[in-house]
Amino acid sequence: MSTAIDSLPCLDSPYTLDPGKVAQFQRDGHALIEGLCAPEDLTEYAAAIAHAVDVRKGDLLPMEQRDTYGKAFIQIMNLWREEEVIRRYVFAKRFARAAAELMGVPAVRLYHDQALFKEGGGGATPWHQDQHYWPLDTDRTVTLWMPLIDLTPEMGSMTFASGSHTEGYFGDSAIEGNTMGHWEAFVKERGWATPTYGALRAGDATFHTGWTLHCAPENTSTAMRAVMTIIYYADGALVKAPDSKYRQADLDAWIPGGIPGQPAASPLNPILYAKE
Ligand SMILES: O=C(O)CCC(=O)C(=O)O
């Protein structure tokens, strides 16, 4: 796509977070920040991301032949490395600053970005903890999840188990097989509330920590649920020795050359916001 990068909306200006949102994020492990990006500022970035997904998604099997992961979404990662326009979106200081302020840290690094497009008729995203996959020795991690189009509740909005992040790692919650029943029972037993944010506008963003249990229902509409995510962690976080195939694969892909016990700071993990 040819777009004059400098003419695109600048996404660096600060967004003043309501202190109540910060408190809610720290208490519940998730929060909705409405209008983090104005819809009119998002248009060209959204088009670039949708185009990048379209050209990279490859040949998809019919839905009924896919596994749980394949049904849940089309996932394309680190698009910032592929397209200048997307790099400008992923490196937006406004987003990174919101992530830092929600976590209460002075600076954040990029872990990776990922487009998560749930097709019309796509399956549920089962309950999981993201940090199950991450070789990071910190609980200061957060995902920004931003719809690129207006979402209706039928398209599969995020659902969170409020307060689940306070208990750390629950063990294997890989997105595979039929794990929904197990986690539903677990969440019920703990008595956590499970709010969903339902309908969202393009440019709204939910944030959740790496330990917050979350899921998303099926997309029962016929439209593509176009969502972009950016994962951040506190600058200074250390690499955790990988103790599973998932964390080893993530280390190799997203913190290449990272050494356990040393700062997670490869060239793929630039600082995206630091308080002045
Ligand atoms: O988009 C989804 O369906 C799930 C997203 C998710 O699990 C995440 O961003 O951590």
Question: What is the pLDDT at residue 83?
Answer: 96
DSSP conformational letter for 74: E
Backbone angles phi, psi at 190, to 5 degrees: -75, -20
Query: 216 lies in a domain?
Result: yes
For the CA of 72, the nearest atom of ligand 1: 3
173 CB-side CA count, 13 A: 27
Question: What is the pLDDT at residue 11?
Answer: 98
For the CA of 130, the nearest atom of ligand 1: 10
Query: 38 lies in a domain?
Result: yes
Q: Measure the CA dihedral 77/82/84/86, to 10°.
A: -20
Domain span at residue 152? 15-256
Question: What is the pLDDT at residue 177?
Answer: 73
Residue 227 CA to ligand 1 center (angstroms) comes to: 9
Q: How far apart are CA 266 and CA 206, in angstroms?
A: 27
Helix (H, G, I), strand (E, B) or coil at 33: strand
Question: What is the pLDDT at residue 3?
Answer: 60
Query: 126 lies in a domain?
Result: yes
Query: 136 lies in a domain?
Result: yes
Query: 189 lies in a domain?
Result: yes
Question: What is the pLDDT at residue 172?
Answer: 79
Residue 97 token pair: 């600053």
Residue 117 CA to ligand 1 center (angstroms) comes to: 10
Q: Identify the CA nearest to 45 among candidates 97, 94, 80, 93.
A: 80
Q: How far apart are CA 100 and CA 4, in angstroms?
A: 29
Residue 100 token pair: 């830092």
Query: 103 lies in a domain?
Result: yes
Q: What's the CATH number where 77 sits?
A: 2.60.120.620
Residue 7 CA to ligand 1 center (angstroms) comes to: 31
Q: What is the pLDDT of residues 206-242, one digit of tens each?
A: 999 999 999 999 999 999 999 999 999 999 999 999 9
- In this structure, the residues whose C-beta lies within 6 A of any atom of ligand 1 are 72-73, 116, 118, 125, 130, 143, 145, 156, 214, 216, 227, 229
Q: Which helix (H) or strand (E) holds 75?
A: strand 74-77
CB 215 within 8 A of CB 126: yes
DSSP conformational letter for 155: G
Query: 1 lies in a domain?
Result: no
For the CA of 73, the nearest atom of ligand 1: 3
Q: How far apart are CA 224 and CA 155, in angstroms?
A: 8
**13 CB neighbour count, 10 Å cutoff:** 10
Query: 147 lies in a domain?
Result: yes
**14 CB neighbour count, 10 Å cutoff:** 11
In the chain, the amino acid numbered 214 is H
In the chain, which residues have pLDDT < 70? 1-3
Question: What is the pLDDT at residue 181?
Answer: 84
Q: Which residues contact 2 (CB under 8 A, 6 or more apart)?
A: none
**59 CB neighbour count, 10 Å cutoff:** 4
Question: What is the pLDDT at residue 133?
Answer: 96
Work out how many domains the chain is built from and give that number.
Answer: 1
Its pTM stands at: 0.96
CB 174 within 8 A of CB 246: yes
